[in-house]
Amino acid sequence: MSDAGVIGQAHDVRTTDGRTLRAHEVGDPAGELILVHHGTPGWGLLAPEWAADAVARGFRLVGYDRPGYGGSDRHPGRRVADAAADSAAIADALGADRFRTWGGSGGGPHSLACAALLPDRVVAAAVVAGVAPYDADGLEWTAGMGQDNIDEFGAAMQGEPTLRPALEHANGQLTAIGAAGVADVLQSILPPVDTALLSGEMGEFLFRWMTGGIAGTVDGWVDDDLAFIGDWGFQPAQIRVPVLIVHGGQDLMVPFDHGQWLGGRIPGVTTRFSDEDGHLSTLRTIPDVHTWLLER
């Protein structure tokens, strides 16, 4: 295992509309499947701690590159809801009738899509520092966000012709400065508790996780942002499977109000809120998230 992340066994999965999705598997192929939806930007790389957890406990942990990222074909105009069919295709290819799933940050809505639209297949779902719908009633969506994210979603509201060059510029900055400089580039959206993680092994992983899927193109990042501010294709209130919401009170990327909003709208939801955590620091809870999912 590399300190900068675990790729695992690669699978290229064909969707019903002819696209290819790249999935990355670690753990026991005969174990329970947990499917991971990465953040924005990102790809299916898995943290060494998550992979070691899968190996030690004998479950099957699979990350995948969302369309437009890494080894997965782009799906222009995709909605958040489309993640359900893509996830089902991956589960089918792996021979799993039922599965559990979690998503971090921008992956959160995609985990919820699976919970809402695949109730006969998804045992349970978790959202770690995940975003709420842009049109959420009673939520000021950008309130409490750092300036970088306010600017990014302001560009998204102007459409792809404005958003794409903004993200290409941000990608160039990240690539040029490397892992050691990420805290400087992202300082407006990182509270001290998150900045502290951007050093050593975790910092190397987070840098590779954020940048590895956009080395050739920002297509996936563009499509994620446009999907977040559009119609998701489902309502969180329609979810009937067990859901866990994890969120930090110091989050400047996806403000705490998003987690509270989701926690107040999903029936039977379990919430784990922490005043001490920011955005990135909630990733330290992933082994506990795995435990919660496997107990359902």
pTM: predicted TM-score of the whole model, two decimal places: 0.96
- pLDDT tens string, the chain, 296 residues long: the values are 455 788 889 999 999 999 999 999 999 999 999 999 999 999 999 999 999 999 999 999 999 999 999 999 999 999 999 999 999 999 999 999 999 999 999 999 999 999 999 999 999 999 999 999 999 999 999 999 999 999 999 999 999 999 999 999 999 988 888 777 777 778 888 999 999 888 778 888 999 999 999 999 999 999 999 999 999 999 999 999 999 999 999 999 999 999 999 999 999 999 999 999 999 999 999 999 999 999 99
Q: Sign of torsion, CA 167 233 101 248?
A: positive
Residue found by looking up tokens 């799906």 in the block: 75
Q: Is 159 exposed, middle or buried (0-12, 13-18, 19+ CB in 10 A)?
A: exposed
d(CA 223, CA 107): 13
**Boundaries of every domain in the chain:** 9-295
Tell me the residue type at 287: P
Residues forming a β-bridge with 184: none
Measured CA to CA in angstroms, residue 28 lies from 25, 54, 100, 291 at distances of 9, 7, 15, 16
Q: Which fold has domain 9-295?
A: Rossmann fold (3.40.50)
